[in-house]
Amino acid sequence: MKTLLMIGGTGFIGREIIKSLNPKDFRILVFSSLGKDANEIRSHNKDSEIQVFLGQLVDTDLIESIITDHKVDIVIHLASSLVPISTIDEYNLELENIIYPTIKLINKLANHGIKLIYFSSGGNIYKQTSDHIHELSETEINNFYAKSKLMIESAIISKSKEIQPFNYLILRPSNVYGRTNRINIKQGFIENTILRITQNKPIAIWGDGKQTRDYIHISDLVKILKVIGLDSATQGILNVASGNSINLLDIVKIIMATIGHETEIVFDDKVYFGPKEIKFNISNLEQLINFQPVQIEAGIKKLISQLNG
């Protein structure tokens, strides 16, 4: 049995990972700053002996003691408070509360020989290109969210060159969807569009809606993490995407057709909406796992059913 420490494990992705893990295979520790969310994790996973530790990421001594006392084998880092439209003030808070403490944690993990799985970003860190994006494609700081991710990635890679072997895996997910609760208006285009249509409210689209994005269902992301991140020795950087791009207007059409109801679309070109076109090359992913991604129509239909159920 491996001991797994999840930092930021009470969020959308973290909760889904925890639900999918077999308690016979993993002893799960969750580090969170939110007591209410931590209690929900316990109540929703009663069959698993999940230990929750409350604290702030800046308390690196506390985290190190958890790692040492519980003989942690793997750390999954999901903690982030930023979104692509975050401001400089929010970024400065992220620097103090997440980025700098994470860099300190990276040093400790490398020195203790503990595996680190870091969730970065696929849709925000790459330079705009009409070509398919692969792991060696040029990166670019498109927003403060991307800047934070690239800073942490850089620290991980630098440490891996300094201390060998440093067992790490950087996952760069595309747009993950499948949230069924606590939907944030600033994040989750598919979920927010479904809610707006069912509530007969206008849909807000940043830009002209013709920008393409890659959407991956949460079930696919979790499967990839388990097979490649937890059950294999794969290291380095990996794009985690469906390999299929679709523009936002087509997403809206699919949702409207599935629900059987239309509503007004309001375009907002005052908000930065990211690259015009995103297409992922997932050949490295396909070499590691037999990957048949959930098709967008099926994923949307399933999500609508869950939200209505």
Exposed / middle / buried, residue 288 (Cβ in 10 Å: 0-12, 13-18, 19+)? middle
Residue ranges, comma separated, of all CATH 3.90.25.10 domains in the chain are: 178-214+244-308
Residue 18 contacts residue 30 (beta carbons within 8 Å): yes
Tell me the two tokens of residue 200.
Answer: 């007969």
- In this prediction, residue 10 carries a pLDDT of 87
Give pTM, 2 decimals. Answer: 0.94
- Helix count (H) and strand count (E) of the chain? 11, 12
Residue ranges, comma separated, of all CATH 3.40.50.720 domains in the chain are: 2-175+215-240
C-alpha span between 240 and 171 (Å, rounded): 6
At residue 140, the 3 state secondary structure works out as coil
Paired with 32 in beta bridges are 54
C-alpha span between 103 and 115 (Å, rounded): 15
Look up residue 180 and give its DSSP letter.
-
Q: For strands 245-247 and 212-217, give the pairing.
A: antiparallel
Along the 309 residues of the chain, how does pLDDT read in single tens digits? 899 999 988 889 999 999 999 888 999 999 988 766 666 776 655 556 789 899 999 998 999 999 999 999 999 999 999 988 899 999 999 999 999 999 999 999 999 999 999 999 998 999 989 999 999 999 999 899 999 999 999 999 999 999 888 999 999 999 999 999 888 777 899 999 999 999 999 998 988 999 999 999 999 999 999 999 998 889 999 999 999 999 999 999 999 999 999 999 999 877 666 788 999 999 999 999 999 999 999 999 999 999 987
C-alpha span between 129 and 49 (Å, rounded): 46
How many Cα neighbours within 13 Å face the side chain of 22? 8
Spell out the residues 6+ positions from residue 298 whose beta carbon is closer than 8 angstroms to its own: none
- Please state which of the four CATH numbers 2.30.29.30, 3.90.25.10, 3.40.50.920, 3.40.50.720 is assigned to the domain occupying 178-214+244-308: 3.90.25.10
* Type of residue found at 75: V
C-alpha span between 135 and 158 (Å, rounded): 17
Residue 239 contacts residue 281 (beta carbons within 8 Å): yes
Alpha helices by DSSP H, the chain: 12-20, 35-44, 60-69, 88-94, 100-112, 144-162, 189-198, 218-224, 248-259, 283-288, 296-308
C-alpha span between 48 and 28 (Å, rounded): 8
Q: How many CB atoms lie within 10 A of CB 64?
A: 17
- In this prediction, residue 46 carries a pLDDT of 56
| Closest CA relative to residue 307, chosen from 176, 192, 203 | 192
Distance of CA 286 to the CA centre of its chain: 19
- In this prediction, residue 136 carries a pLDDT of 96
The pair phi, psi for residue 108, each rounded to 5°, is -65, -40
Q: Tell me, which fold does domain 2-175+215-240 have in CATH?
A: Rossmann fold (3.40.50)
